[in-house]
Chains A and B, each alone.
Chain A
Amino acid sequence: MKHGRVSVVLSVAVVAGSLSLPASANPFETTLDNGLKVVVKEDRRAPSVVNMVWYRVGAIDEIDGSTGVAHVLEHMMFKGTDSLPAGEFNKRVAGMGGKDNAFTSRDYTAYFQQVPAARIGDVIALEADRMRHLNFSDDDFAKEIEVVKEERRLRTDDKPHSLVYEQLMATAFVAHPYRRPVIGWMTDLDRMKADDARDWYATWYAPNNATVVVVGDVDHEEIFAKVREAFGDFKAEALPDRREIVEPAQAGPRRSVVRAPAELPYVAMAWRAPTLRDIDKDRDVYALQVLAAVLDGHEGARIPKHVVRGSQVAVSAGAGYDGTGRGESVFIVDGTPSQGKTVADVEAALVAEIARVRDEGISDAELSRVKAQVIAGQVYKRDSLMGQAMEIGAMDAIGMSWQDDERMIEMLRSVTAEEVKAVAGRYFSDDSLSVAVLEPQPVENKPRTRLAGARH
């Protein structure tokens, strides 16, 4: 391998976590001179370790005409380096007894391996190699782009609810990049070139745009040393300016219709909602998270209780809001009408649930129930190495830190019933509402014209 193993680059270990966390220094964090951040969480329960590399680049950074390129490059990252043939990465990891994979989101692209703890150095070296020495053929690209199109057919084109979600985002956002699907429009995939993926790699895959996260049966100092050895010689790169793209104010409700083979209609509604930027001040975000949990956090929550089991307007229904991310947020509710009920009935029932919180507030029991689940969830998540690594990496990739997690939980626990009532009144005007509806088409129809499709 070309990347340097010769000298161990000196770098200042900034163990930032120990300053702010009372309990323990775990996780441990450092940053190499070239800007590569490293976070290690020691979890010694089993001789197992998860290695992840997170790149702070995702579909949000794409431009029109080459949507999906972040995800396509993710596929190509398994197609060989200067010294490693295509497919060899997977073989090496499997030979260790491990598993490996990768995923692309709107905000980031991440790669992971879970291997026996003794093999951590090997997978760190493999990741380092492909951070700087990726080398795939045009022929492999030509095959892999077809794989990605099959993935799009599988996950989106033939999945009516996925099509609705895709249309909902394309409707809710006009200027903001979240209007584009992560997997890309089929028409863009049809026109994508190998060099599009290579350019993407050259632009974004640099140590100063990445974070290594290691969780498992390891010593953090040893991991810092191994990461320095594998990545330390890489040079930091100038990254493109990332301008914040702000969605202009919406001036009225928007609707979109998707026709696809299905039996039951389906509706999804999205309101523009705030995104967490200041963890101490953006209290509305926490209140909206509690609202989502009061509506749909468990089987006894309001939407399953009232809309599905009580009035039986819907056979299924739900609510969702995240509120964290590099881009903008929406608060979503969705549902499938019962026999004899319509999409309009479901919309009305879901809106009524939010209005009821706005008018009558929530009970103390509901509030404490949400908090009990949050507290228990903090314990349960420690059962999974992968889950812990995911949380550290995702927080980092969206511009926050794993150190913020504890503070965010505290903030969530400080939400009052009055705040939940207030946000239910503040963010659900139909001025900022977008709705996407599935109109079922009979399966027996003649072959339809393609939904999202390519024309060769």
Chain B
Amino acid sequence: MQKLSTFLIALTFVLLSGMARAGLDIQLWTTPEGARVYFVQTDALPILDVQVDFAAGSAFDPAGKASLASFTRGLLDSGAGELDEDAIANRLADVGAQMGGGVDDDRASVSLRTLSSKAERDGAVNLLVTLLQQPTFPAAVLEREKKRAVADLQQALTQPGTIASRRFTEAIYGTHPYGRLATAASIDEVSREDVVGFYKTHYTVERSSISMVGDLSRSEAEALAARISAGLPRGGADDGIPPVPMSAAADIRVPHPSAQAHIMIGMPGIKREDPDYYPLLIGNYVLGGGGFVSRLMEEVREKRGYAYSAYSYFAPQQEAGPFQIGLQTKGSQVDDALAVVAQTLKDFIADGPTEEELAAARDYTINGFGLRLDSNRKVLGYVAVIGFYQLPLDWLDQYPQRVAELTVAQVRDAFQRRVKPEHLVRVVVGGDGDTTQATAAAQ
């Protein structure tokens, strides 16, 4: 690929921040138990997508037990009702259904894609309901998965990208829950009682939102949501995510025998609901979110050939998610690349985007909004975010309007207030295996 997965990740953040399509008809109601339901009806394809999100992400891991949230979500399909993990996997496959989801800092998600024809849909939906309401969390499976998790972790800890990412997270979040990282010790601490308890207190109606997109009538959708909601735990923990304290500047270097150094620079960024949301996200498109047309890509890759991937992103979360600039370059030109990034960021903060750059960012955002919603899967992604974070139903419609109104001065002002050198953490891992000289193109 000419381009890069990192760019795609960065792009996702821009997109999640919202391209809109006027007229996406999201129906909202609450189940008798109080779960919020978001439904987009479309019969263009005989498919139904369902996603249930819980405020049960890794930020809710107790101190010392990092990865509890992850195990709880991971073990949902390892036993439920009368079914063991093989029976669950086979039943899913028998009806051609696919289950997905996972855990991020804020959310635990369970998603299901099924054919909408009755036999397949009923089989798949019954399974989903059983998993959500009657997980058995078998002790033997937990023990096995703990061993696998430790092995995965030990392997990952030898890879420079993983090391850089963990050091970055630790450095910008410190002891805040967003900074809790799984270790062999924290994995070892997780017991079956912890998992059962976490499920009961975090996979509750009150912490849930249900999203559905596809070939289903309103009454069928209501019945399905009611079934999901009726058997979920109630009440649960009254824990929120505390505000993120600002990081202090740090310069971290970790040796590693890789050819490339992995570089990450950043600090805590923005919340989902943040007064500077639009100027920072659209400004970031110009800085490093816009792929080939961003300044970082232009300066680092196009002008100098320093890296395959160079990006920046803001990941909006319940509380301040990371702002990160990243690239990978061979060890011998780390200092040159760092200097280019520092200058690019400094210039951008000082002057903001040009009128032309801001216009290009507006064009991309506004002209492209229809593309971001051209499949059921993409629609589900937005609907789930709107539902989980309780954004206004017309959030997608507001977005282009807010972007259209942005000025260069607003973007510059927001970056000057929010991205400050005294908070920037810089992590450089590896590159010690590079034996080449800085290249001709670097001159």
Task: Give me the interface of A with B, judged by CB distance under 8 Å.
Answer: 45-48, 74-75, 78, 86-87, 90-91, 94-99, 101-104, 114-116, 142-151, 153-154, 157-159, 216, 261-264, 297-301, 304-305, 308-309, 312, 315-316, 336, 338-339, 365, 368-369, 372-373, 375-377, 379-380, 382-385, 440-441, 443, 445-451, 453-456
Contacts and interface: CB of A to CB of B under 8 A. Distances in A.
A103 B1 contact: yes
A153 to B, nearest CB: 4
A383 B214 CA distance: 11
Contacts of A104: 1
Given A87-B302, A95-B363, A377 B96 contact: yes
Given A305-B86, A384-B377, A297 B93 contact: yes
Contacts of A153: 258-260, 328, 330
Contacts of A86: 302
Contact of B151 (A264, A369, A377): A264
Contact of B158 (A75, A263, A308): A263
Interface in B335-390: 360, 363-371, 373-377
A376 B259 contact: no
B233 interface: no
Contacts of A380: 47, 98, 113
Contact of B257 (A154, A216, A445): A445
A299 B95 CA distance: 14
A263 B152 CA distance: 9
Complex A-B, nearest 6 residue pairs according to Cβ-Cβ distance, in ascending order: A97-B368, A376-B96, A300-B89, A97-B367, A146-B305, A46-B374
Contacts of B439: 146
A263 B155 contact: yes
A443 B434 CA distance: 14
B256 to A, nearest CB: 6
Interface residues of B, number: 86
A151 B4 CA distance: 9
Nearest to A78: B2
Contact of A90 (B293, B309, B437): B293
Given A300-B90, A450-B435, A372 B96 contact: yes
Contacts of B154: 263-264
Given A48-B374, A99-B368, 5 more contacts: A94-B292, A143-B303, A264-B154, A316-B152, A450-B433
Nearest to A449: B435
Interface in B248-303: 256-260, 290-293, 298, 301-303
A153 B369 CA distance: 35
Contacts, number: 248
Interface in B287-329: 290-293, 298, 301-309, 328-329
A298 B92 contact: yes
Given A95-B360, A153-B330, A298-B92, A339 B45 contact: no
Contacts of B257: 261, 441, 443, 445-448
Contacts of A114: 371
Nearest to B154: A263
Contact of A102 (B2, B77, B258): B2
B155 A262 contact: yes
11 contacts: A45-B42, A47-B374, A87-B302, A94-B290, A143-B305, A298-B89, A300-B90, A312-B147, A380-B47, A443-B158, A448-B433
Interface string B404-443: 0000000000000000000000000010111111011110
B97 A142 contact: no
Query: DSSP majority for the A interface?
Result: mixed
Q: Could you say which of B89, B152, B154, B258 has the most chain A C-beta atoms within 10 Å of its C-beta? A: B258
A261 B155 CA distance: 10
B371 A383 contact: no
B93 A263 contact: no
A150 B374 contact: no
Contacts of A443: 158, 256-257
B308 A116 contact: no
Contacts of A368: 94
A300 B328 CA distance: 38
B187 interface: no
A383 B260 contact: no
Q: Could you say which of B11, B144, B257 has the most chain A C-beta atoms within 10 Å of its C-beta? A: B257
A96 B259 contact: no
A304 B47 CA distance: 27
Interface string B127-156: 000000000000000001001100110110
A164 B299 CA distance: 34
B46 interface: yes
A98 B435 contact: no
Contacts of B19: 97
A382 B88 CA distance: 26
A336 B158 contact: no
Contact of A373 (B93, B430, B436): B93
Contacts of B260: 150, 153-154, 157-158
Contacts of B440: 142
A447 B305 contact: no
Contacts of B122: none
B436 A456 contact: yes
Given A75-B2, A95-B364, A456-B436, A338 B151 contact: yes
B157 interface: yes
A261 B160 CA distance: 10
B115 interface: yes
Contact of A372 (B93, B302, B303, B434): B93
Contacts of A375: 96
B346 to A, nearest CB: 23
B292 A300 contact: no
Contacts of B96: 372-373, 375-377
B120 interface: yes
Interface in B35-72: 42, 44-47
Given A147-B301, A158-B259, A380-B47, A115 B371 contact: yes
A97 B371 contact: yes
A74 B155 contact: no
B307 A147 contact: yes
A97 B359 CA distance: 12
Nearest to B437: A456
A368 B95 CA distance: 10
A276 B152 CA distance: 36
A154 B85 CA distance: 36
B3 interface: yes
Interface in B1-49: 1-3, 11, 19, 42, 44-47
A154 B160 CA distance: 10
Contacts of A75: 2
A282 to B, nearest CB: 25
A45 to B, nearest CB: 5
A383 B45 contact: yes
Interface string B156-198: 0111100000000000000000000000000000000000000
A205 B303 CA distance: 26
Q: Could you say which of B1, B154, B367, B433 has the most chain A C-beta atoms within 10 Å of its C-beta? A: B433
A160 to B, nearest CB: 8
Contacts of B42: 45
B367 A45 contact: no
B136 to A, nearest CB: 16
Contacts of A150: 260, 305-308, 328-330
Nearest to B89: A300
B377 A339 contact: no
Given A263-B157, A380-B47, A309 B144 contact: yes
Given A300-B93, A443-B158, A456-B437, A97 B1 contact: no
A101 B364 contact: no
Contacts of B365: 97
